[in-house]
A and B are shown apart, each in its own frame.
Chain A
Amino acid sequence: MQTDQHLIPHAEAANQFIKDEERTDWHDQTLWFVRQKRDKIAHTIPEWEDLRELGSQIKNHTLSRLDHYLAQFEANAKANGVHVHWAANAKEHNEIVLGIIRKHSPTGIAKMVKSKSMLTEECHMNEYLISQGVEVIDTDLGERIVQLRQEPPSHIVMPAIHLKKADVSDTFHEHLGTEKGNNDPQYLTEAARQHLREKFVGASIAITGVNFAVAETGGFVVCTNEGNADLGVNLADVHIACMGIEKIIPQQKHLGVFLRLLARSATGQPVTTYSSHFRKPRRQGQEMHIVLVDNGRSTQLGRPDFRNSLKCIRCAACFNTCPVYRRSGGHSYHNAVAGPIGSILAPNLDMRKNADLPFASTLCGSCSNVCPVKIDIHDQLWKWRQVLMAEGLAPASKKVSMQAMATVFSHPAVYRLGGKIGRWTVKNLPFLVNNKLNPWYTQREMPAAPPESFQEWYAKNRKK
């Protein structure tokens, strides 16, 4: 894993990403195409806006009684024969998972298959388990590709969206022995299918994430298109499901609302191929475990401005629509969840490390408009900026320019003089501003400076 990634701030990482113009354009257009598929299918549902409102209200209600629903979920899961564990943070989560694995494989290398779970990415579970001698195999195709390349996923739904066919072909040639230069997705997917079938059959432990956990039944739902979660779990002796505490919903019927919203928002599909409802272990001796993880969520719950970021159902619609994400790539966000939603979740986990992320946005509001549970993402990005400025954690260049701006705006004479100098400079000495030190001029054609300010124009014309 590129653990030193957090050292590169978003703007700088984005700069690296856009150096390959052709690839940047492809990335931009591909994600926009997914956004368009989302629009197309959403428009076929007359009650789409009602569903978004219902999704939002159910989540708001659940968050307002989260302790109650977690306790109810735990009691029902236990009654179903499921072991329930609680973890305050990432470290506890990883240790609980290792403890379960050790109990089943006290000696030798434990073999584990894993389907997609952003929570385990957040906790850096893979690195930890591998360091403890566990074989961890990601089974979602995109996740397997990035795992073989020792990269983190760059998108929560499409983990390898930053890669081209030829990249995957090279990786598979190196690790799976596929033909060099064969870039056919059908061929490459078949190679992965054969490789991973062996892993599915050989594994004794399966880890999954959780899309929705139902308090009323103690069951939970996992959504995949590939079938990798079910294949892993149903062939393994032990199923460990890892979930953030915000994944709870009150009743089974509420799944109707969320399953109608999730895949349509994510990829423009009517529903994922498999929506799997796990409730009780298999009859012959399978063990089921659920790990409930806080890791900062109860803190976020206590911040009124940022509380409703916990409504997120991880569809990534906000990624696909974001003009900044599309042109900077997921890795530039140095956080398990990238994009606009990641930029409001990350500062809660580590404000200092992630202080750059709320600034990685144009505040255009497109994210809030597509969010299936109506999270006010762009408002929260703006609010995080206020918090970060107040805490003195904003990027240095922002601090200086904000202070300068504050001075200028609070002194009208300075403001007027500044405008005059600015207009004169752009016209007569353009090299003073159009140079490498001024980020406003990179990749932009600046307009010609007007001959006079509005105030000057108004003073002249009001007499007429």
Chain B
Amino acid sequence: MSVRDSILAKIRSNNLTELPLPEIPFFNDGRTDLLARYKTVLTSIGGTPRELAEAETLEDLIREVYPDAERIASSVPLAGIPLVTISDETDKATLEAMDVAILKGEFAVAENAAIWVPEANMLNRALPFISQHLVLLVEKDKLVLNMHEAYEHIDTESLSYGVFIAGPSKTADIEQSLVIGAHGARSLVVVFL
């Protein structure tokens, strides 16, 4: 018997009675201030929420927040900002040199400030993590309350790889002192469009 079959046979030999699988409610509390809630949580975990001011463009905002950034990649066109082209094929050295990555998030989750970023939005799977800084763009009406609702919005069929990103990379492994910028992005700006 293969190892697989013997493990499964051993599990079956326990003859367990099937226990019920519960239904999962949405736990919607009826409140509508999702954007305000999102911003509060994001700020508390070290990220920066932004909205474009009147007459401000995304390009202005990027230049203001990252004035010294030289190597920028973006999945949306940015007028007047020279971009590094990143794709599946990009080599590690180019990826490692990236200062800022600007990517679209599919939707944002108010309860924990997470943003769903599927592979299709990443340019390259390593980019959101290897870039020194990360900017995620989300449409204001793409906010959900909690993770139960979030999973309703994920297209399982097309899912190859996707990440909920909540805040910048961080660690507290040295004497529980919080340090922002462990291995991944040193800062995260979420721009609501």
Residues from chain A with a CB closer than 8 A to the CB of B17 are: 64
Q: Is B34 an interface residue (CB 8 A)?
A: no
Kindly identify which residue among A34, A61, A216 contacts B20, using a CB–CB cutoff of 8 Å: A61
Task: Give the CA-CA distance A261 to B28 in the complex, in Å.
Answer: 17
Give the contacts of A41-63 with B (CB-CB under 8 A): 46-47, 50, 53-54, 57-58, 60-61, 63
Whether B19 and A61, one on each chain, are in contact in the complex, defined by CB atoms closer than 8 angstroms, is yes
Q: Is A165 an interface residue (CB 8 A)?
A: yes
Whether A193 and B177, one on each chain, are in contact in the complex, defined by CB atoms closer than 8 angstroms, is no
Q: Is A322 an interface residue (CB 8 A)?
A: no
Task: Give the CA-CA distance A316 to B191 in the complex, in Å.
Answer: 34
Task: Give the CA-CA distance A231 to B165 in the complex, in Å.
Answer: 13
Give the contacts of B22-47 with A (CB-CB under 8 A): 22, 24-25, 27, 29, 41, 44-45
Q: A61-B19, A165-B174, A256-B148 are in contact. Are A282 and B7 (CB under 8 A)?
A: no
Task: Give the CA-CA distance A53 to B45 in the complex, in Å.
Answer: 27
Q: How far is the CB of A111 from chain B (nearest CB, A)?
A: 13
Task: Give the CA-CA distance A47 to B111 in the complex, in Å.
Answer: 13
Q: A61-B19, A227-B183 are in contact. Are A256 and B163 (CB under 8 A)?
A: no
Kindly identify which residue among B7, B146, B150, B184 contacts A86, using a CB–CB cutoff of 8 Å: B7
Whether A189 and B164, one on each chain, are in contact in the complex, defined by CB atoms closer than 8 angstroms, is no
Give the contacts of A276-290 with B (CB-CB under 8 A): 276-280, 282-284
Binds A, one of B55-63, B68-76, B153-161: B153-161
Kindly identify which residue among A65, A257, A273 contacts B165, using a CB–CB cutoff of 8 Å: A273
Binds A, one of B77-85, B100-108, B123-131, B135-143: B123-131
Whether B3 and A87, one on each chain, are in contact in the complex, defined by CB atoms closer than 8 angstroms, is yes
Q: Is A140 an interface residue (CB 8 A)?
A: yes
Contact with B along A20-44 (1 / 0, CB 8 A): 0000000000100110000000000
Contact with B along A156-188 (1 / 0, CB 8 A): 001111011100100000000000000001101
Q: Name which residue of chain B comes closest to A200, CB basis.
A: B183
Which of B95, B130, B147 is the most central at the interface, judged by chain A CB atoms within 10 Å of its CB?
Answer: B147
Task: Give the CA-CA distance A240 to B148 in the complex, in Å.
Answer: 29
Q: Is B190 an interface residue (CB 8 A)?
A: no
Task: Give the CA-CA distance A71 to B5 in the complex, in Å.
Answer: 10
Q: Name which residue of chain A comes closest to B125, CB basis.
A: A234
Binds B, one of A118-126, A294-302, A338-346, A421-429: A294-302
Q: A57-B22, A283-B88 are in contact. Are A253 and B148 (CB under 8 A)?
A: yes
Residues from chain A with a CB closer than 8 A to the CB of B21 are: 57-58, 61, 250
Q: A226-B170, A271-B114 are in contact. Are A86 and B129 (CB under 8 A)?
A: no
Q: A88-B3, A163-B175, A253-B24 are in contact. Are A270 and B182 (CB under 8 A)?
A: no
Residues from chain B with a CB closer than 8 A to the CB of A100 are: none
Task: Give the CA-CA distance A283 to B175 in the complex, in Å.
Answer: 40
Whether B112 and A140, one on each chain, are in contact in the complex, defined by CB atoms closer than 8 angstroms, is no
Task: Give the CA-CA distance A254 to B25 in the complex, in Å.
Answer: 11
Q: Is A217 an interface residue (CB 8 A)?
A: yes
Q: Name which residue of chain B comes closest to A186, CB basis.
A: B179
Residues from chain A with a CB closer than 8 A to the CB of B13 are: 302
Whether B11 and A67, one on each chain, are in contact in the complex, defined by CB atoms closer than 8 angstroms, is yes
Q: How far is the CB of A42 from chain B (nearest CB, A)?
A: 13
Whether B146 and A273, one on each chain, are in contact in the complex, defined by CB atoms closer than 8 angstroms, is no
Contact with B along A216-257 (1 / 0, CB 8 A): 110100000111101100110000000001000010111111
Residues from chain A with a CB closer than 8 A to the CB of B88 are: 282-284
Task: Give the CA-CA distance A306 to B18 in the complex, in Å.
Answer: 17
Whether A185 and B16, one on each chain, are in contact in the complex, defined by CB atoms closer than 8 angstroms, is no
Residues from chain A with a CB closer than 8 A to the CB of B154 are: 252
Q: How far is the CB of B23 from chain A (nearest CB, A)?
A: 9
Residues from chain A with a CB closer than 8 A to the CB of B124 are: 234
Whether A301 and B16, one on each chain, are in contact in the complex, defined by CB atoms closer than 8 angstroms, is yes
Q: Name which residue of chain A comes closest to B11, CB basis.
A: A67
Whether A142 and B173, one on each chain, are in contact in the complex, defined by CB atoms closer than 8 angstroms, is yes
Which of B13, B14, B177 is the most central at the interface, judged by chain A CB atoms within 10 Å of its CB?
Answer: B14
Kindly identify which residue among A66, A190, A228, A255 contacts B151, using a CB–CB cutoff of 8 Å: A255
Q: Name which residue of chain A comes closest to B22, CB basis.
A: A57
Whether B146 and A260, one on each chain, are in contact in the complex, defined by CB atoms closer than 8 angstroms, is yes
Residues from chain B with a CB closer than 8 A to the CB of A270 are: 41, 44-45, 111-113, 166
Q: How far is the CB of B27 from chain A (nearest CB, A)?
A: 5
Whether A234 and B147, one on each chain, are in contact in the complex, defined by CB atoms closer than 8 angstroms, is no
Residues from chain B with a CB closer than 8 A to the CB of A299 are: 10
Residues from chain A with a CB closer than 8 A to the CB of B181 are: 189-190, 193
Whether B166 and A245, one on each chain, are in contact in the complex, defined by CB atoms closer than 8 angstroms, is no
Whether A158 and B176, one on each chain, are in contact in the complex, defined by CB atoms closer than 8 angstroms, is yes
Q: Name which residue of chain A comes closest to B16, CB basis.
A: A64
Residues from chain A with a CB closer than 8 A to the CB of B16 are: 63-65, 301
Task: Give the CA-CA distance A50 to B29 in the complex, in Å.
Answer: 14
Task: Give the CA-CA distance A274 to B29 in the complex, in Å.
Answer: 26
Whether A228 and B147, one on each chain, are in contact in the complex, defined by CB atoms closer than 8 angstroms, is no
Task: Give the CA-CA distance A243 to B24 in the complex, in Å.
Answer: 25
Q: How far is the CB of A325 from chain B (nearest CB, A)?
A: 16
Whether B112 and A256, one on each chain, are in contact in the complex, defined by CB atoms closer than 8 angstroms, is no
Residues from chain B with a CB closer than 8 A to the CB of A259 are: 147, 164
Whether A225 and B24, one on each chain, are in contact in the complex, defined by CB atoms closer than 8 angstroms, is no
Whether A227 and B185, one on each chain, are in contact in the complex, defined by CB atoms closer than 8 angstroms, is yes
Q: A189-B179, A252-B156, A253-B151 are in contact. Are A230 and B129 (CB under 8 A)?
A: yes
Whether B166 and A273, one on each chain, are in contact in the complex, defined by CB atoms closer than 8 angstroms, is yes
A-B contact pairs, 5 of them (CB 8 A): A63-B16, A190-B181, A225-B169, A230-B163, A279-B161
* Residue ranges of A at the interface with B (Cβ–Cβ < 8 Å): 30, 33-34, 46-47, 50, 53-54, 57-58, 60-61, 63-67, 70-71, 74, 86-88, 92, 139-142, 145, 158-161, 163-165, 168, 185-186, 188-190, 193, 196-197, 200-201, 216-217, 219, 225-228, 230-231, 234-235, 245, 250, 252-257, 259-260, 267, 269-280, 282-284, 292, 294, 298-299, 301-302
Further pairs besides A88-B7, A231-B126, A252-B156: 7, Cβ < 8 Å: A87-B3, A185-B179, A271-B112, A273-B165, A292-B7, A294-B7, A302-B14
